[in-house]
A and B are shown apart, each in its own frame.
Chain A
Amino acid sequence: MSKKVIATASLAGCFGCHMSILDIDERIIDLVELVEFNKSPVDDIKKFTKRVDVGIIEGGCCNSENVENLKYFRENCDILISLGECAIMGGLPALRNGIPIKECLDEAYLDGPTVRLNTEKIIPNDPELPMILDRVYPCHEVVKIDYYLPGCPPRADLIWDALVALLTGSEMDLPYEVIKFD
Protein backbone atom coordinates (compact mmCIF):
# COMPACT_ATOMS: atom_id res chain seq x y z
CA MET A 1 0.00 0.00 0.00
CA SER A 2 1.39 3.40 -0.91
CA LYS A 3 1.88 5.81 1.91
CA LYS A 4 -0.74 8.49 2.52
CA VAL A 5 0.45 12.03 1.97
CA ILE A 6 0.21 14.70 4.66
CA ALA A 7 0.80 18.44 4.49
CA THR A 8 0.77 20.98 7.32
CA ALA A 9 0.79 24.76 7.67
CA SER A 10 0.90 27.31 10.43
CA LEU A 11 -1.12 30.42 9.55
CA ALA A 12 -1.85 32.92 12.34
CA GLY A 13 -0.68 30.46 14.97
CA CYS A 14 2.26 30.06 17.33
CA PHE A 15 3.52 26.66 16.11
CA GLY A 16 2.27 25.18 19.38
CA CYS A 17 0.00 22.82 17.44
CA HIS A 18 2.97 21.65 15.37
CA MET A 19 4.85 21.11 18.64
CA SER A 20 1.92 19.00 19.78
CA ILE A 21 2.21 16.89 16.61
CA LEU A 22 5.82 16.23 17.61
CA ASP A 23 4.57 15.45 21.11
CA ILE A 24 3.32 12.06 19.89
CA ASP A 25 6.84 10.99 20.94
CA GLU A 26 8.11 7.66 19.63
CA ARG A 27 4.89 7.11 17.72
CA ILE A 28 6.43 9.46 15.18
CA ILE A 29 8.36 6.40 13.96
CA ASP A 30 5.04 4.62 13.34
CA LEU A 31 3.74 7.77 11.66
CA VAL A 32 6.63 7.80 9.23
CA GLU A 33 5.66 4.22 8.31
CA LEU A 34 2.10 5.35 7.64
CA VAL A 35 2.64 8.65 5.84
CA GLU A 36 4.96 10.85 3.87
CA PHE A 37 5.05 14.59 4.39
CA ASN A 38 4.62 17.01 1.51
CA LYS A 39 4.39 20.81 1.91
CA SER A 40 5.08 21.42 5.57
CA PRO A 41 7.39 23.38 7.88
CA VAL A 42 8.51 19.94 9.13
CA ASP A 43 10.40 19.22 5.89
CA ASP A 44 10.46 22.77 4.52
CA ILE A 45 8.80 21.80 1.21
CA LYS A 46 7.42 25.12 -0.03
CA LYS A 47 5.12 24.01 -2.87
CA PHE A 48 2.89 20.99 -3.26
CA THR A 49 4.61 18.37 -5.42
CA LYS A 50 1.68 15.92 -5.50
CA ARG A 51 -1.94 15.45 -4.45
CA VAL A 52 -2.24 15.38 -0.65
CA ASP A 53 -4.59 13.13 1.34
CA VAL A 54 -4.72 15.09 4.58
CA GLY A 55 -3.89 18.77 5.11
CA ILE A 56 -3.53 20.01 8.66
CA ILE A 57 -3.99 23.72 9.33
CA GLU A 58 -2.81 25.48 12.46
CA GLY A 59 -3.86 29.11 13.03
CA GLY A 60 -6.60 31.30 11.62
CA CYS A 61 -6.38 33.91 8.86
CA CYS A 62 -5.06 37.31 9.94
CA ASN A 63 -3.55 38.47 6.63
CA SER A 64 -3.80 38.01 2.86
CA GLU A 65 -0.98 35.47 2.78
CA ASN A 66 -2.84 33.25 5.27
CA VAL A 67 -5.92 33.33 3.02
CA GLU A 68 -3.87 32.54 -0.09
CA ASN A 69 -2.06 29.70 1.66
CA LEU A 70 -5.29 28.24 3.06
CA LYS A 71 -6.92 28.29 -0.38
CA TYR A 72 -3.77 26.67 -1.82
CA PHE A 73 -4.14 23.90 0.77
CA ARG A 74 -7.83 23.43 0.00
CA GLU A 75 -7.08 23.05 -3.71
CA ASN A 76 -4.40 20.45 -3.09
CA CYS A 77 -5.76 18.42 -0.16
CA ASP A 78 -8.57 15.85 -0.19
CA ILE A 79 -9.24 16.34 3.51
CA LEU A 80 -8.54 19.50 5.44
CA ILE A 81 -8.36 19.62 9.24
CA SER A 82 -8.53 22.70 11.47
CA LEU A 83 -6.06 21.94 14.23
CA GLY A 84 -6.37 23.94 17.44
CA GLU A 85 -8.32 26.93 18.72
CA CYS A 86 -6.76 29.53 16.39
CA ALA A 87 -7.74 27.59 13.27
CA ILE A 88 -11.18 26.86 14.72
CA MET A 89 -12.15 30.26 16.15
CA GLY A 90 -9.26 32.66 15.59
CA GLY A 91 -7.76 32.02 19.02
CA LEU A 92 -5.63 34.60 20.77
CA PRO A 93 -4.87 36.62 17.59
CA ALA A 94 -8.65 37.14 17.32
CA LEU A 95 -8.60 39.07 20.60
CA ARG A 96 -7.99 42.05 18.32
CA ASN A 97 -11.30 41.47 16.52
CA GLY A 98 -13.14 44.05 18.62
CA ILE A 99 -10.49 46.71 18.05
CA PRO A 100 -10.40 48.79 14.84
CA ILE A 101 -7.39 47.85 12.68
CA LYS A 102 -6.00 51.41 12.75
CA GLU A 103 -5.92 51.37 16.52
CA CYS A 104 -4.06 48.03 16.47
CA LEU A 105 -1.42 49.30 14.03
CA ASP A 106 -1.03 52.63 15.86
CA GLU A 107 -0.52 50.79 19.14
CA ALA A 108 1.97 48.35 17.61
CA TYR A 109 4.07 50.80 15.59
CA LEU A 110 3.45 54.34 16.84
CA ASP A 111 2.01 54.72 20.32
CA GLY A 112 2.83 51.52 22.20
CA PRO A 113 5.02 51.80 25.32
CA THR A 114 7.74 49.63 23.72
CA VAL A 115 7.95 51.62 20.48
CA ARG A 116 11.32 53.39 20.59
CA LEU A 117 13.14 53.08 17.28
CA ASN A 118 10.38 54.07 14.89
CA THR A 119 11.47 57.72 14.81
CA GLU A 120 9.97 58.31 11.38
CA LYS A 121 6.60 57.08 12.61
CA ILE A 122 6.10 54.60 9.80
CA ILE A 123 3.55 51.82 9.84
CA PRO A 124 5.21 49.08 7.73
CA ASN A 125 3.94 49.56 4.17
CA ASP A 126 6.30 47.64 1.89
CA PRO A 127 4.25 46.12 -0.97
CA GLU A 128 6.00 42.79 -0.27
CA LEU A 129 4.28 42.57 3.10
CA PRO A 130 0.98 40.66 3.25
CA MET A 131 -2.02 42.89 3.80
CA ILE A 132 -3.44 42.60 7.29
CA LEU A 133 -7.16 41.72 7.40
CA ASP A 134 -9.85 43.73 9.19
CA ARG A 135 -10.13 40.90 11.69
CA VAL A 136 -8.91 37.36 12.25
CA TYR A 137 -11.06 34.73 10.54
CA PRO A 138 -11.59 31.10 11.55
CA CYS A 139 -10.42 28.82 8.71
CA HIS A 140 -13.90 27.41 8.05
CA GLU A 141 -15.15 30.93 7.29
CA VAL A 142 -12.64 31.08 4.40
CA VAL A 143 -12.66 27.55 2.92
CA LYS A 144 -14.50 24.30 3.60
CA ILE A 145 -12.96 22.43 6.52
CA ASP A 146 -13.68 18.72 6.93
CA TYR A 147 -12.65 18.04 10.53
CA TYR A 148 -11.91 20.00 13.69
CA LEU A 149 -9.50 19.06 16.47
CA PRO A 150 -9.86 21.53 19.35
CA GLY A 151 -7.31 22.38 22.00
CA CYS A 152 -4.61 24.91 22.78
CA PRO A 153 -2.75 22.93 21.73
CA PRO A 154 -4.79 19.83 20.84
CA ARG A 155 -3.52 16.91 22.91
CA ALA A 156 -0.96 14.73 21.12
CA ASP A 157 -3.20 11.71 21.75
CA LEU A 158 -6.09 13.43 19.98
CA ILE A 159 -3.93 14.23 16.96
CA TRP A 160 -2.54 10.71 16.86
CA ASP A 161 -5.94 9.00 17.23
CA ALA A 162 -7.51 11.27 14.62
CA LEU A 163 -4.72 10.68 12.11
CA VAL A 164 -4.72 6.92 12.61
CA ALA A 165 -8.52 6.80 12.28
CA LEU A 166 -8.41 8.89 9.11
CA LEU A 167 -5.53 7.04 7.51
CA THR A 168 -6.75 3.55 8.30
CA GLY A 169 -10.47 4.25 7.95
CA SER A 170 -11.17 3.02 11.47
CA GLU A 171 -13.65 4.38 14.01
CA MET A 172 -12.32 7.14 16.23
CA ASP A 173 -12.40 6.79 19.97
CA LEU A 174 -12.78 10.13 21.75
CA PRO A 175 -12.05 9.76 25.47
CA TYR A 176 -13.17 12.73 27.59
CA GLU A 177 -9.62 13.81 28.46
CA VAL A 178 -8.54 14.53 24.89
CA ILE A 179 -11.12 17.12 23.88
CA LYS A 180 -10.16 20.32 25.63
CA PHE A 181 -10.25 23.96 24.58
CA ASP A 182 -7.19 24.98 26.61
Chain B
Amino acid sequence: MSNTIKFKIDGKEIVAEYGKTVIEAARENGVYIPTLCNFAGVPAKGGCRMCTIKINNRFMTSCTTPAAAGMEIENDTPEINALRKSIIELLFVSGNHFCPSCEKSGNCELQALAYRYQMMVPKYPYSFPVKEVDASSPKIIKDQNRCVLCQRCMKTIKTESGERYFAFSKRGADLEVIMDPELAEKMTDEIAQLAMDNCPVGSIIKKEIGFAEPIGTRKYDKEVIGTDIEG
Protein backbone atom coordinates (compact mmCIF):
# COMPACT_ATOMS: atom_id res chain seq x y z
CA MET B 1 0.00 0.00 0.00
CA SER B 2 1.29 3.43 -0.92
CA ASN B 3 2.27 5.62 1.98
CA THR B 4 0.86 8.77 0.39
CA ILE B 5 -2.72 9.86 -0.05
CA LYS B 6 -4.33 12.46 -2.22
CA PHE B 7 -7.30 14.70 -1.51
CA LYS B 8 -8.54 18.15 -2.43
CA ILE B 9 -8.84 21.46 -0.58
CA ASP B 10 -10.80 24.12 -2.49
CA GLY B 11 -10.06 22.17 -5.67
CA LYS B 12 -6.31 22.10 -5.10
CA GLU B 13 -4.75 18.63 -5.01
CA ILE B 14 -3.03 17.86 -1.71
CA VAL B 15 -0.50 15.06 -1.45
CA ALA B 16 0.16 13.93 2.10
CA GLU B 17 1.79 11.20 4.06
CA TYR B 18 -0.68 8.71 5.51
CA GLY B 19 -1.47 9.48 9.17
CA LYS B 20 -1.23 13.27 8.97
CA THR B 21 -4.13 15.42 10.09
CA VAL B 22 -5.84 17.62 7.53
CA ILE B 23 -4.24 20.76 8.96
CA GLU B 24 -0.73 19.29 8.86
CA ALA B 25 -1.21 18.11 5.29
CA ALA B 26 -2.62 21.49 4.28
CA ARG B 27 0.29 23.34 5.89
CA GLU B 28 2.84 21.16 4.07
CA ASN B 29 1.07 21.89 0.79
CA GLY B 30 1.00 25.67 1.24
CA VAL B 31 -2.66 25.90 2.25
CA TYR B 32 -3.38 28.03 5.31
CA ILE B 33 -6.10 26.97 7.72
CA PRO B 34 -6.33 29.39 10.68
CA THR B 35 -5.88 28.10 14.24
CA LEU B 36 -5.49 29.45 17.74
CA CYS B 37 -5.20 26.43 20.02
CA ASN B 38 -3.34 24.19 17.58
CA PHE B 39 0.37 24.59 18.24
CA ALA B 40 3.61 22.63 17.85
CA GLY B 41 4.04 20.38 20.86
CA VAL B 42 0.38 20.57 21.88
CA PRO B 43 -1.85 17.57 21.22
CA ALA B 44 -4.67 18.65 18.90
CA LYS B 45 -7.93 19.11 20.77
CA GLY B 46 -10.27 20.96 18.42
CA GLY B 47 -10.92 23.55 21.10
CA CYS B 48 -10.99 26.93 19.40
CA ARG B 49 -12.85 25.76 16.24
CA MET B 50 -10.97 28.29 14.13
CA CYS B 51 -9.72 25.48 11.88
CA THR B 52 -13.25 24.39 11.01
CA ILE B 53 -13.51 23.20 7.42
CA LYS B 54 -16.13 21.32 5.44
CA ILE B 55 -15.22 17.76 4.55
CA ASN B 56 -17.59 16.18 2.06
CA ASN B 57 -20.08 18.88 3.10
CA ARG B 58 -19.80 18.28 6.86
CA PHE B 59 -18.22 20.70 9.32
CA MET B 60 -15.11 19.21 10.96
CA THR B 61 -12.07 20.56 12.79
CA SER B 62 -9.01 20.10 10.60
CA CYS B 63 -6.59 19.72 13.53
CA THR B 64 -8.31 16.57 14.83
CA THR B 65 -9.32 14.93 11.55
CA PRO B 66 -6.88 12.52 9.89
CA ALA B 67 -6.48 13.21 6.19
CA ALA B 68 -8.00 10.49 4.04
CA ALA B 69 -7.78 9.76 0.35
CA GLY B 70 -10.45 11.34 -1.79
CA MET B 71 -11.66 13.94 0.72
CA GLU B 72 -13.28 16.99 -0.88
CA ILE B 73 -12.56 19.87 1.49
CA GLU B 74 -13.83 23.45 1.53
CA ASN B 75 -11.58 25.86 3.42
CA ASP B 76 -11.30 29.42 2.10
CA THR B 77 -14.97 30.02 1.27
CA PRO B 78 -17.27 32.92 2.23
CA GLU B 79 -19.40 30.58 4.37
CA ILE B 80 -16.51 29.17 6.40
CA ASN B 81 -14.68 32.48 6.67
CA ALA B 82 -17.85 34.08 8.05
CA LEU B 83 -17.99 31.36 10.72
CA ARG B 84 -14.36 31.98 11.59
CA LYS B 85 -14.99 35.70 11.83
CA SER B 86 -17.85 34.98 14.24
CA ILE B 87 -15.53 32.95 16.47
CA ILE B 88 -13.02 35.81 16.51
CA GLU B 89 -15.79 38.27 17.36
CA LEU B 90 -17.08 36.07 20.18
CA LEU B 91 -13.57 35.89 21.63
CA PHE B 92 -13.24 39.68 21.44
CA VAL B 93 -16.52 40.33 23.27
CA SER B 94 -16.18 37.53 25.84
CA GLY B 95 -12.91 38.93 27.21
CA ASN B 96 -11.50 42.43 27.65
CA HIS B 97 -9.24 42.94 24.66
CA PHE B 98 -7.96 46.50 24.81
CA CYS B 99 -5.54 46.39 21.91
CA PRO B 100 -4.29 49.99 22.25
CA SER B 101 -2.93 49.31 25.74
CA CYS B 102 -1.66 45.77 25.19
CA GLU B 103 2.03 44.97 24.94
CA LYS B 104 1.20 42.05 22.62
CA SER B 105 -0.55 44.26 20.06
CA GLY B 106 0.96 43.58 16.64
CA ASN B 107 2.28 40.20 17.75
CA CYS B 108 -1.12 38.87 18.84
CA GLU B 109 -2.62 36.00 16.86
CA LEU B 110 -6.21 36.80 17.83
CA GLN B 111 -5.75 40.37 16.61
CA ALA B 112 -3.95 39.14 13.47
CA LEU B 113 -6.89 36.85 12.68
CA ALA B 114 -9.26 39.78 13.18
CA TYR B 115 -7.15 41.73 10.67
CA ARG B 116 -7.11 38.85 8.21
CA TYR B 117 -10.88 38.45 8.35
CA GLN B 118 -11.41 42.25 8.42
CA MET B 119 -13.27 42.57 11.69
CA MET B 120 -14.22 46.25 11.99
CA VAL B 121 -16.41 45.72 15.05
CA PRO B 122 -17.75 42.51 16.66
CA LYS B 123 -21.40 41.95 15.76
CA TYR B 124 -22.05 40.77 19.35
CA PRO B 125 -22.40 43.05 22.39
CA TYR B 126 -19.33 43.51 24.58
CA SER B 127 -19.71 41.71 27.90
CA PHE B 128 -16.91 43.53 29.81
CA PRO B 129 -16.45 40.61 32.23
CA VAL B 130 -14.73 41.26 35.56
CA LYS B 131 -11.40 39.42 35.47
CA GLU B 132 -8.28 39.34 37.63
CA VAL B 133 -4.71 40.23 36.78
CA ASP B 134 -2.17 38.09 38.63
CA ALA B 135 1.14 39.94 38.91
CA SER B 136 2.51 37.84 41.77
CA SER B 137 5.28 36.22 39.74
CA PRO B 138 8.49 38.25 39.61
CA LYS B 139 8.83 37.47 35.90
CA ILE B 140 5.40 37.56 34.29
CA ILE B 141 1.91 39.01 34.50
CA LYS B 142 -1.00 36.60 33.93
CA ASP B 143 -3.89 38.72 32.70
CA GLN B 144 -7.22 36.85 32.70
CA ASN B 145 -8.87 39.66 30.74
CA ARG B 146 -7.09 38.50 27.60
CA CYS B 147 -6.91 34.73 28.09
CA VAL B 148 -8.64 32.64 25.40
CA LEU B 149 -8.18 29.33 27.30
CA CYS B 150 -6.24 27.73 24.43
CA GLN B 151 -4.04 25.70 26.83
CA ARG B 152 -0.89 26.40 24.83
CA CYS B 153 0.95 27.60 27.96
CA MET B 154 -0.34 24.66 29.99
CA LYS B 155 0.95 22.12 27.48
CA THR B 156 4.26 23.71 26.48
CA ILE B 157 5.64 25.53 29.53
CA LYS B 158 7.09 22.91 31.85
CA THR B 159 10.05 22.39 34.16
CA GLU B 160 12.80 19.97 33.21
CA SER B 161 11.06 17.29 35.25
CA GLY B 162 7.78 17.94 33.40
CA GLU B 163 5.85 19.96 35.98
CA ARG B 164 3.46 22.47 34.48
CA TYR B 165 3.69 26.16 35.31
CA PHE B 166 0.07 26.75 34.28
CA ALA B 167 -3.14 24.86 35.00
CA PHE B 168 -6.90 25.18 34.75
CA SER B 169 -8.82 26.44 37.76
CA LYS B 170 -12.58 26.62 38.39
CA ARG B 171 -15.15 25.36 35.91
CA GLY B 172 -17.64 26.37 33.26
CA ALA B 173 -17.95 30.09 32.61
CA ASP B 174 -15.49 30.77 35.46
CA LEU B 175 -12.76 28.56 33.97
CA GLU B 176 -9.36 30.22 33.94
CA VAL B 177 -5.70 29.39 33.46
CA ILE B 178 -3.68 30.15 36.57
CA MET B 179 0.01 30.02 37.51
CA ASP B 180 1.52 27.58 39.96
CA PRO B 181 2.60 30.11 42.61
CA GLU B 182 5.74 28.22 43.68
CA LEU B 183 6.97 27.55 40.15
CA ALA B 184 6.05 31.09 39.05
CA GLU B 185 8.17 32.44 41.90
CA LYS B 186 11.23 30.60 40.59
CA MET B 187 10.58 31.18 36.87
CA THR B 188 13.64 32.01 34.75
CA ASP B 189 13.78 34.79 32.13
CA GLU B 190 13.94 32.18 29.37
CA ILE B 191 10.80 30.40 30.54
CA ALA B 192 9.03 33.74 30.97
CA GLN B 193 9.90 34.74 27.41
CA LEU B 194 8.82 31.35 26.05
CA ALA B 195 5.53 31.55 27.93
CA MET B 196 4.88 35.03 26.49
CA ASP B 197 5.84 33.90 22.96
CA ASN B 198 3.70 30.76 23.10
CA CYS B 199 0.62 32.68 24.30
CA PRO B 200 -1.39 33.60 21.19
CA VAL B 201 -2.76 36.71 22.92
CA GLY B 202 -1.46 39.10 25.59
CA SER B 203 -2.47 37.02 28.59
CA ILE B 204 1.13 36.27 29.55
CA ILE B 205 3.35 39.34 29.52
CA LYS B 206 6.99 39.39 30.56
CA LYS B 207 7.66 41.96 33.25
CA GLU B 208 10.15 44.83 33.27
CA ILE B 209 10.35 45.28 29.52
CA GLY B 210 7.72 46.82 27.31
CA PHE B 211 7.36 48.22 23.82
CA ALA B 212 11.00 47.39 23.04
CA GLU B 213 9.71 46.78 19.54
CA PRO B 214 7.58 49.78 18.55
CA ILE B 215 3.99 49.49 17.35
CA GLY B 216 4.02 49.49 13.57
CA THR B 217 7.10 47.28 13.22
CA ARG B 218 5.70 44.12 14.79
CA LYS B 219 5.07 40.76 13.20
CA TYR B 220 1.49 41.22 12.01
CA ASP B 221 1.64 44.98 11.42
CA LYS B 222 2.70 44.36 7.82
CA GLU B 223 2.38 40.61 7.35
CA VAL B 224 -1.00 38.89 7.12
CA ILE B 225 -1.20 35.88 9.43
CA GLY B 226 -0.87 32.70 7.38
CA THR B 227 1.18 34.16 4.54
CA ASP B 228 4.23 32.28 5.84
CA ILE B 229 2.33 29.10 4.92
CA GLU B 230 0.68 30.35 1.75
CA GLY B 231 3.98 31.76 0.46
Contact = CB atoms under 8 A, between A and B. Distances in A.
A180 B106 CA distance: 9
Q: Which of the listed residues B99, B100, B106, B222 has the most CB atoms from chain A within 10 Å of its own CB? A: B100
Given A149-B120, A179-B120, A182-B105, A94 B100 contact: no
A182 B129 contact: no
A180 B98 contact: no
Contacts of A97: 96, 128
Contacts of B215: 182
A181 B120 contact: no
Interface stretch (A85-93, A108-116, A122-130): A85-93
A177 B128 contact: no
Contacts of B118: 174, 179
B131 interface: yes
A55 B126 CA distance: 23
A170 to B, nearest CB: 18
Contact of A181 (B96, B99, B130): B99
A95 B128 CA distance: 9
A180 B118 CA distance: 10
Given A98-B131, A181-B99, A181-B111, A90 B222 contact: no
B161 interface: no
B128 A135 contact: yes
A97 B125 CA distance: 14
A89 B115 contact: no
Contacts of B222: 176-177
A91 B121 contact: no
Contact of B99 (A174, A176, A182): A182
A140 B126 CA distance: 11
Given A150-B121, A152-B99, A181-B114, A98 B129 contact: yes
A77 B222 CA distance: 35
A91 to B, nearest CB: 6
A51 B98 CA distance: 35
A82 interface: yes
Nearest to B115: A179
Interface string B109-127: 0010011001011100110
B42 interface: no
A138 B130 CA distance: 17
A85 B125 contact: no
Nearest to B92: A89
12 contacts: A82-B121, A85-B99, A88-B121, A89-B121, A98-B130, A138-B121, A141-B126, A149-B120, A150-B120, A152-B99, A179-B115, A181-B111
Lowest 5 A-B CB distances belong to which pairs?
A: A152-B100, A181-B99, A148-B120, A97-B128, A182-B105
Interface of B: 96, 98-102, 105-106, 111, 114-115, 118, 120-122, 125-126, 128-131, 215, 221-222, 224
